[in-house]
Structure 1
Amino acid sequence: MVASTVTVFGGTGFLGRRIVSTLLEAGHAVRVATRNPERGNPAWADRVEPITADVRDPAAVARAVEGADAVVNAVALYVEAPGLDFESVHVEGARNVAEAAQVQDERKLIHISGIGASESSPSAYVRARARGEHAVREACGNAVILQPGVLFGPNDSFVSTLTAVTRLPLVPLFGWGETRLHPVHVDDVASAVRRAIEYPATAGRTFELGGAGTYRYREILVQVLAATGRRRLLVPVPFAVWHLLAAMAACLPSPPLTRDQVLLMRQDNVVGLGAAGFAELGITPRDFAATLSECLR
C-alpha cells in the first residue's frame, strides 16, 4: 500500500469521523472538507487538514480536492430543513464532487450511498440517493459506490433512538415489526472505504454492505430490550397511523418523525442476492446482536 492524500467530504459526521480515523491509522494524509470543520475530532488537531467546503459549491469542492489522490463523499442528509434539501445535497452535491474528482485521471472517488437506492421508490430520500448515484456514474465512471445498510456503533442515532423508545411503557412497532433490516457496523463501512481506496480492482464497482445478519424490526427491539434488561410490551401500530403522526409533526421546526422515515420502514432494507459486498473487499462484518452491548455503554 502506498500512502496517499485523501479528501473526505462529510468527515465530521457519524460515518465520516470513523472513515477519517481509519485512514489516519492506515497512514494516509487526510483533509476533512465540511461546512463546519470545527466539529471535527479534537484528537485530529495536528493530524488532518481542515477545509471549509460545501458540496453544493463547485468552486469550494474543486479547491478541496486539488492535489488529492482519492476523494470520499460521505455527506448525508436524512431530514430536509430550510436551505437544505435532498436534491441539492445528494444529487447536485454528489455531481459536483464527482466532476471535481474526475479532473485528475488517477484520482479515486468513493461515493457513499445506501442499500435500496431506487428512482422508483416512494421515498424522496431514496430517490435522491439513486439519482445521486446516476450523476456520479455519469461524471466519473470509475467511481466506487458503497451502499451500506442502517449504520450502528458507539454514539450512533440508530441504537440510541431504539434505546429511548424502549423506555416507554408500551413500545410501538411499525406495522407488525416485520420489516427486515441489515444493520452494519460503522467501523466495517469505514474499513470498506479504505479497501476501496487501496484496491485497484474496486474501480467502477458497486458494493452493498450489510452486517453479518439480517433482523426484523421486532427482533431488533427484542435485542435492545434484552441488552438493557427491560421488559416491555411490543404494540403493532398500522402504517396509516404512522403517516398521520408524520403529517402532524411536519409543522414542527425539528420533526421527530417524517414521511420519508415512515416510508423507509415499509420496505425491507437488505443486501440483494448475489450483490458484491464485504467478501469481495476481504472484510468479515460484525453482527448486530453480538456487538450491541458495545453501543450501549
Structure 2
Amino acid sequence: MSKLVTIFGGSGFVGRYVAYRMAQAGWRVRVACRRPETAGFVRTYGVVGQVEPILCNIRNDDSVRDLTRGADAVVNCVGTFERKGKNNFDAVQDAGATRIARMAAEEGVQHLVHLSAIGADVDGDSLYAQSKGRGEQGILEHFPNAVILRPSIVFGPEDAFFNRFAGMTKMGPALPVVGADTRFQPVYVGDVADAAAMGAQGKAAPGIYELGGPDVHTFRELMEMMLRVIRRRRMIINIPFLPAKGLGALMELGQTLTLGLLPAQITRDQVTSLKSDNVVSDGAKGFEDLGIQQTSLEAVLPDYLWRFRPSGQYAAMKESAKDASGKLGTH
C-alpha cells in the first residue's frame, strides 16, 4: 500500500502545491482544511480517491489526532496574518503548530515538515514573528527531527502579494507602499513545495532551512518590476513607518467596528514587520543544501500577471503588431 501524508492547510496557497507533488510521487494525500467543500479541486491531483480534502480544526486535539493517525508523514502549511479572532497568531502559529507536532510524535509519524517564515523569533519585533518563533519551539520540543522551512515572500499564480499590488494599480495613478527600502528575497511557491515534499519523503536532513529566491530586491524594486510586467505607469509613493502605523490602527478599528466586513488592508503589526529585511541569513541552510535550483521572478511573473495589463491577454499580440507596423514603416 502506498504511503500516506497529511497536509494541514493543504488547500491553501503553498499547501496545494505540496499536495500535488506528494500525489505525483505516488502518496495518498489527506488535505486537512477548514472548508473541505471548497477544496474539491485537490482531488484532481491524483487518481480517484488518492487525494481527499477532510475537515480539520487545528485548535482541537481530537480533530488533529484523527487526521494524524496512520500517516507516515505530516506537513504543516497553516499560517495566518490575523492578530485577533479564534484563528489568531497564537492559536494557529503557536498552539496549533505545537499541537500538530505533539500528535505526530504520539502517533508515530516518521517525518514532519513545518512551514515557518524568515524572521521567526520568539524575541522578534512583530507579534507575527514571535508567534512563528514559538511555533518552531513547540515543533522541536515534540518532534526534534522535524524539517522547518523559513521562506521569504512566496510568489506564484495564487499569491497575495503581487496579485494584490497589481490589482491596486487599477485604482489610480499612485501605488502606495510601506517600507520601500526594505529588502526581500521572493521565492517561487513551486520551489518551496519541492523542499517540503523532500522533507516529507525523508530526503532532507532534519533542521531549519531558510528559503529565498536567486535575487534580493527592495520593495520599490519589486513594484517597479511588477509595473513593467503589467505594462502600467504608476508613481510609487513610500509611506513613512510612523504615519503607516497610525493608518494601520485606523484600519484595524474599521475592521472591528464592521465585524470584519471591512478587512484592514494593513495592520500595525505588518508595519512593524516591514521595518526588517526579509532575506536569507548568512550561513543558513537553504536550497543549495537540498539540491534545488531557485526559480527567478522574471521566469514566472508574466505567466500570471498578464491579466492586469490594460489589454490583458491581447497585450503581447498588440505589441507584436505595433512592432511589425513600425518596421514596415521604415522601408
Q: Give TM-score scaled by structure 2 length.
A: 0.85
Measured against aligned partners, the alpha-carbon deviations of 1:240-285 in whole angstroms (never above 9, x if no partner) come to 1111110110122221111121112111000111111111111101
Is 1:242 matched with 2:244? yes
Distance 1:42 1:226 in 2: 32
Counterpart contact for 1:147–1:209, Cα < 8 Å: yes
Matches of residues 68-147 of structure 1 in structure 2 within 5 Å? 68-105=71-108, 107-147=110-150
Q: Give TM-score scaled by structure 1 length.
A: 0.94
Matches of residues 78-227 of structure 1 in structure 2 within 5 Å? 78-105=81-108, 107-167=110-170, 168-175=172-179, 177-203=180-206, 205-227=207-229
Shift of 1:91: 0.8
Shift of 1:136: 0.6
Is 1:268 matched with 2:277? yes
Counterpart contact for 1:112–1:145, Cα < 8 Å: yes
- The one of 273, 289, 292 equivalent to 2:298 is 289
Counterpart contact for 1:10–1:33, Cα < 8 Å: yes
* Aligned partner of residue 146 in structure 1, secondary structure: strand
Shift of 1:9: 0.4
Partner of 1:39: 38
Measured against aligned partners, the alpha-carbon deviations of 1:160-192 in whole angstroms (never above 9, x if no partner) come to 1120233331122324x1100011111111111
Counterpart contact for 1:35–1:54, Cα < 8 Å: yes
After superposing the two structures, state which structure 1 stretch, 103-112 or 249-258, moved more. 103-112
Shift of 1:224: 0.7
Distance 2:107 2:205 in 1: 18
Measured against aligned partners, the alpha-carbon deviations of 1:143-167 in whole angstroms (never above 9, x if no partner) come to 1111111111012111111202333
Shift of 1:31: 0.5
Matches of residues 228-239 of structure 1 in structure 2 within 5 Å? 228-239=230-241
- Which residue identity does 2:276 align to in structure 1? Q
* Aligned partner of residue 220 in structure 1, secondary structure: helix
Shift of 1:36: 1.3
Percent identity between matched residues is: 37
CA RMSD of aligned residues (A): 1.6
Distance 1:228 1:69 in 2: 44
After superposing the two structures, state which structure 1 stretch, 20-29 or 286-295, moved more. 286-295
Distance 1:160 1:200 in 2: 33
- Which residue identity does 2:289 align to in structure 1? E
Shift of 1:218: 0.6
* Aligned partner of residue 31 in structure 1, secondary structure: strand
Distance 1:197 1:179 in 2: 33
The structure richer in helix per residue is 2
Is 1:49 matched with 2:58? no
* Aligned partner of residue 162 in structure 2, secondary structure: helix
Change beyond 3 A, Cα 1:173–1:33:
closer
Change beyond 3 A, Cα 1:267–1:43:
closer
Runs of 4+ residues over 4 Å off in structure 1:
none
- Of the two structures, which has the highest relative contact order with CA contacts closer than 8 Å and spacing of 6 or more? 1
After superposing the two structures, state which structure 1 stretch, 283-292 or 40-49, moved more. 40-49
Distance 1:201 1:239 in 2: 39
In structure 2, stretches of 5+ residues that fail to align are 307-331
Distance 1:42 1:51 in 2: 13
Distance 2:109 2:78 in 1: 23
Partner of 2:318: none
Counterpart contact for 2:81–2:88, Cα < 8 Å: no
- Which residue identity does 1:136 align to in structure 2? I
* Aligned partner of residue 250 in structure 1, secondary structure: helix
Count of residues in correspondence between the two structures = 294
Measured against aligned partners, the alpha-carbon deviations of 1:6-37 in whole angstroms (never above 9, x if no partner) come to 00001111111111111111111101111211
